């Protein structure tokens, strides 16, 4: 087993990895930047190293610097979390060259599954269904238009190396194709240094289903069932759940078996997620594979009772998976919401500011993966996700009810978040009925509009907060006054929380 792990990430995911390391009696090193010196992860490790100031390329994305630091500190392995360097094959290869273990798959797996064209060709080879379309090497504009016409409208142009909705365009008229292709290629080149695209049939009412997988180096490949991630904004997930309300036992069995067939065929190792599109007729198609731990892995942990980070570490150290497929089952229902520093009522624009306070939930069956405390500055330097709130209950209806209660309890005071917006989605009739697709936010835009509170309701909310906090001698009142906040501006700030 490893003696020391460097966590090449930040905020809540760094804290999550620290937790498993401590439970496994493995020393860990956390890293942070100047602006994060008071963030919880900055002091969470047995050793914590400041990377100084500057752009991400000088800090969290500086591969050579992280490797030099790992060697200096006698680190056995690096856990990349998600995002940043977690799916970077160059980093994986450099670590292997320097005899440092990456807690993740091989560079070869990353290269194959990170290329949408190559991965779809591999899926066709092994018999996994893919969305009809073209994903070849010929990138001539006239040829791509011809292929799009073979697929039929509507079609999607998608960056081969892309993700997060970048380099993606939906075409509903062939007259728009040329302009959309140019735009997609330009954005893909800027974002991924690769302008290659693929053409796919656009499924108009899709659901996004993903399967958690884990493989060791001894030929064992397991799935940990599915997650539904259809509630998205800008092609990024904001609410996830497990089990999916769309799957019956037969469909669940087939889609999970498909994911395991993929890991076996490519000799995968470590944690990964196979993502699928589910159409309105119940047909599923391979979308992509994320060769890392997912943001939403906690809901799988909640319904299966398995510590996925621990499993990751054990198989990276050469161990065998200590479970069989028959020992893994889904129990109850789990929901996760991502709390973002953003204003959903202003086109989801990021918000910044100082956190006055962070409140948590008192209910059982709740997990709050949070990377911030009062006094921390929220800036535009990093992703706007503040935390993940996860609940478990015996069934979906109870889990939704519990999540709404928890969202009343959990708040970041001092700036706008999407907390109230999440409650609107969860409380909507279509969501409660399980009638969700990746177009949910767009299709129910009018129903999800903010309902303005009366001044009386806002005043009661402030009074309740002030009463329950009791102010610890008035320190928070002093903080408000030190920022030259009038009672009226304080009320306005509360209205925006």
Catalytic residues: 292
Examine the domain organization and report whether 229 and 274 are in the same domain: yes
C-alpha 201/C-alpha 287 separation (Å) is: 12
pLDDT at 487: 42
Examine the domain organization and report whether 264 and 191 are in the same domain: no
pLDDT at 313: 98
Buried b (16+ CB within 10 A) or exposed e, 396-406: beebbebbeeb
Examine the domain organization and report whether 294 and 145 are in the same domain: no
pLDDT in tens, 451-470: 776 777 677 667 766 665 55
Examine the domain organization and report whether 80 and 159 are in the same domain: no
Mapping DSSP onto H, E and C, the string for 20-88 reads: HHHHCCCEEEEEECHHHCCCHHHHCCCEEEECCCCCHHHCCCCHHHHHHHHHHCCCCEEECCCCCCCCC
Q: At what angle do helices 89-97 and 63-72 cross, to 10 degrees?
A: 30
Q: Which domain holds residue 281?
A: 207-443
pLDDT in tens, 442-452: 999 999 998 77
How many CA atoms are closer than 13 Å to the CA of 229, on its beta-carbon side? 25
Average pLDDT, the chain: 91
264 contacts 252 by C-beta, under 8 angstroms: no
**Does residue 115 lie within any of the structural domains?**
no
Question: How many domains does the chain divide into?
Answer: 4
The CATH code of the domain that includes 11 is 3.40.50.20
- As a whole number of Å, the CA-based R_g of the chain is 23
Q: Could you tell me whether strands 101-102 and 77-79 are parallel, antiparallel, or unpaired per DSSP bridges? A: parallel
Examine the domain organization and report whether 380 and 476 are in the same domain: no
Examine the domain organization and report whether 273 and 404 are in the same domain: yes
Examine the domain organization and report whether 287 and 411 are in the same domain: yes
Give the Å distances, CA to CA, from 197 to 41, 185, 206: 38, 7, 21
pLDDT in tens, 281-329: 999 999 999 999 999 999 999 999 999 999 999 999 999 999 999 999 9
**Does residue 126 lie within any of the structural domains?**
no
Measured between alpha carbons, how far apart are the two ends of the chain, in Å? Answer: 45
**Does residue 298 lie within any of the structural domains?**
yes
Examine the domain organization and report whether 159 and 265 are in the same domain: no
**Does residue 228 lie within any of the structural domains?**
yes
Buried b (16+ CB within 10 A) or exposed e, 35-73: ebeebbbbebbeebbebeeeeeeebbebbeebbebbeee
Residue 489 CB contacts under 8 Å (≥ 6 apart), including other chains: none
Is residue 461 packed enough to be buried (19+ CB in 10 Å), middle (13-18) or exposed (0-12)?
A: middle
The CATH code of the domain that includes 197 is 3.30.1490.20
Most confident option among 60-69, 132-141, 340-349? 60-69
Strand partners of residue 393: 333
**Does residue 295 lie within any of the structural domains?**
yes
7 contacts 75 by C-beta, under 8 angstroms: no
Examine the domain organization and report whether 74 and 220 are in the same domain: no
Please provide residue 288's backbone torsions phi and psi, each rounded to the nearest 5 degrees. -170, 170
How many CA atoms are closer than 13 Å to the CA of 318, on its beta-carbon side? 5
C-alpha 86/C-alpha 97 separation (Å) is: 17
Q: Would the pLDDT of 440 be above 60? A: yes
Sign of the C-alpha dihedral computed for residues 243, 245, 246 and 247 taken in this order: positive
Poorest-pLDDT segment among 91-100, 224-233, 353-362? 353-362
Examine the domain organization and report whether 358 and 283 are in the same domain: yes
**Does residue 469 lie within any of the structural domains?**
yes
CB atoms closer than 10 angstroms to residue 2? 19
Examine the domain organization and report whether 367 and 229 are in the same domain: yes
**Does residue 120 lie within any of the structural domains?**
no
The SS3 assignment for 447 reads coil
Examine the domain organization and report whether 409 and 485 are in the same domain: no
Q: Would the pLDDT of 478 be above 50? A: no
Nearest to 319 by CA among 86, 85, 77, 84: 77
**Does residue 396 lie within any of the structural domains?**
yes
């Amino acid at each position: 087993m490893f003696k020391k792990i460097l966590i090449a990430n930040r905020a809540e995911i760094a804290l999550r990895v620290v937790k498993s390391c401590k439970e496994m009696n493995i020393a860990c090193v956390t890293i942070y930047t100047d602006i994060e010196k008071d963030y919880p992860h900055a002091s969470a490790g047995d050793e914590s190293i400041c990377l100084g100031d500057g752009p991400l390329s000088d800090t969290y994305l500086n591969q050579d610097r992280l490797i030099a630091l790992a060697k200096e500190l006698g680190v056995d392995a690096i856990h990349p979390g998600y995002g940043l360097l977690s799916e970077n094959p160059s980093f994986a290869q450099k670590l292997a060259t320097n005899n440092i273990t990456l807690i993740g798959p091989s560079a070869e797996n990353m290269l194959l599954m990170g290329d949408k064209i190559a991965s779809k060709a591999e899926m066709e080879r092994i018999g996994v269904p893919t969305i009809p379309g073209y994903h070849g090497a010929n990138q001539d504009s006239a040829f791509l238009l011809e292929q799009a016409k073979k697929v039929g409208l509507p079609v999607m142009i998608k960056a081969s190396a892309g993700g997060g909705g970048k380099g993606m365009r939906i075409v509903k008229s062939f007259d728009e194709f040329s302009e959309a292709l140019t735009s997609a290629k330009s954005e893909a080149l800027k974002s991924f240094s690769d302008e290659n695209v693929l053409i796919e049939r656009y499924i108009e009412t899709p659901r996004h289903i993903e399967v958690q997988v884990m493989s060791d180096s001894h030929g064992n490949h397991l799935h940990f069932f599915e997650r539904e991630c259809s509630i998205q904004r800008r092609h990024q997930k904001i609410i996830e759940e497990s089990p999916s309300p769309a799957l019956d036992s037969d469909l669940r069995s087939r889609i999970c078996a498909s994911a395991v067939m993929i890991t076996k065929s490519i000799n995968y190792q470590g944690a990964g997620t196979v993502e699928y599109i589910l159409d309105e007729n119940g047909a599923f198609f391979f979308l992509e594979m994320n060769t890392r731990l997912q943001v939403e892995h906690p809901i799988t942990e909640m319904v299966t009772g398995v510590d996925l980070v621990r499993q990751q570490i054990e198989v990276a150290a050469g161990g065998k998976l200590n479970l069989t497929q028959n020992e893994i089952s889904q129990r109850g229902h789990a929901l996760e919401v991502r709390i973002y520093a953003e204003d959903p009522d202003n086109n989801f624009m990021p918000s910044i500011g100082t956190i006055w306070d962070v409140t948590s939930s008192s209910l059982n069956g709740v997990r709050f993966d949070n990377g911030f405390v009062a006094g921390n500055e929220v800036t535009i330097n990093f992703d706007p996700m503040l935390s993940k709130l996860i609940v478990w209950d015996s069934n979906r209806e109870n889990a939704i009810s519990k999540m709404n209660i928890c969202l009343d309890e959990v708040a970041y005071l001092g700036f706008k978040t999407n907390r109230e917006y999440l409650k609107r989605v969860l409380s909507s009739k279509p969501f409660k009925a399980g009638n969700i697709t990746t177009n949910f936010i767009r299709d129910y835009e009018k129903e999800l509009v903010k309902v303005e509170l009366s001044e009386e309701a806002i005043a009661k909310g402030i009074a309740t907060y002030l009463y329950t906090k009791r102010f610890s001698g008035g320190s928070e009142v002093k903080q408000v006054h030190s920022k030259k906040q009038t009672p009226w501006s304080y009320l306005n700030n509360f209205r925006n929380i």
